[in-house]
Structure 1
Amino acid sequence: MKQLLEVLGFIALMQGALGLVHEFTDWHVGLVQRLGLLDGYGVYASVALVVLAFALFAAAESRGAG
């Protein structure tokens, strides 16, 4: 379970970071910019993904080794 939380955290962190890169540099990377539902809210969605990633990392750390 710890590894699953870490993998999900890594994916959320990367998508959040790529969303921020897209918003500030106009590179076309990440999934946040491809979702029409989030049009105009890309920065907020990306920051939320980064915060979610840190929460998942904290949850994985609290699970312990096994």
Structure 2
Amino acid sequence: MKQVLEVLGFVALVQGVLGLVHEFTHWHVGLVQRLDFLDGYGIYASAALIVLACALFAAAKSRRSG
């Protein structure tokens, strides 16, 4: 379970950073810019993904290995 939380945290972190890169540089990278219902809320969604990644990393750290 610990590895699953770490992988999900890594994916959320990467997608959040790529969403911010898209918002500030207009490169077409990441998943956030491809979701139509998030149109206009890209910065907020990317920041939420980064916060989610931090929470997933904290949850993974609190779990025992094994």
**1:46 maps to which residue?**
46
**2:6 maps to which residue?**
6
**1:56 maps to which residue?**
56
Deviation of 1:58 after TM superposition, in Å, equals 0.1
Q: How many residues align?
A: 66
| Counterparts of 1:48 and 1:64, CA distance in 2 | 26
**1:24 maps to which residue?**
24
Moved over 3 A (4+): none
Stretches of structure 1 lacking an aligned partner (at least 5 in a row): none
Could you tell me the TM-score, scaled by structure 1's length?
0.98
| Counterparts of 2:61 and 2:2, CA distance in 1 | 7
Could you tell me the TM-score, scaled by structure 2's length?
0.98
> What is the alpha-carbon root mean square deviation over aligned residues?
0.5
Deviation of 1:65 after TM superposition, in Å, equals 1.7
